């Protein structure tokens, strides 16, 4: 998609500046509409390719949050302080 060039106006004329702003907003709105359409199309293609609805994937992400990574690696409740103390001890011995 080609990028729209927005012209910086050297004029101090408020009407000219207003017109530039209005035209810029119109251009941006049309670009947003095109991008929204494109995202919708890509989402449909992805759903067809995966054979699964995106909402199902999002629900699975929400349900799996907090599981897996981080468990048993000192990231649970109450383990943050001991971890920082060990780092302090190590840094004191090295210096």
Q: Tens digits of per-residue pLDDT, 3-60?
A: 555 555 566 788 999 999 999 999 999 999 999 999 999 988 988 888 877 777 778 8
The predicted structure's pLDDT at residue 18: 93
82 within some domain: no
Looking at residue 6, its pLDDT comes to 56
* pLDDT of the residue at 80: 54
Is pLDDT of 63 > 90? no
Could you tell me if residue 27 is inside a domain? yes
In the chain, the number of structural domains is 1
pTM over 0.85: no
Exposure of 60 in the CB half-sphere (CA atoms within 13 A): 6
Q: Per the domain annotation, does 88 fall within a domain?
A: no
Residue 2 CA to residue 42 CA, distance in Å, equals 19
Residue 25 included in any domain? yes
Domain that holds residue 18: 12-66
């Amino acid at each position: 998609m080609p990028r729209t060039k927005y012209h910086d106006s050297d004029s101090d004329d408020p009407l000219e500046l207003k017109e530039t702003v209005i035209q810029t907003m119109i251009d941006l709105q049309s670009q947003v509409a095109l991008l929204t359409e494109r995202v919708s199309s890509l989402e449909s293609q992805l759903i067809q390719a995966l054979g699964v609805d995106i909402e199902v994937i999002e629900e699975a992400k929400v349900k799996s949050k907090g599981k897996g990574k981080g468990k048993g690696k000192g990231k649970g409740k109450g383990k943050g302080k001991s971890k920082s103390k060990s780092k302090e001890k190590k840094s004191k011995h090295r210096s």
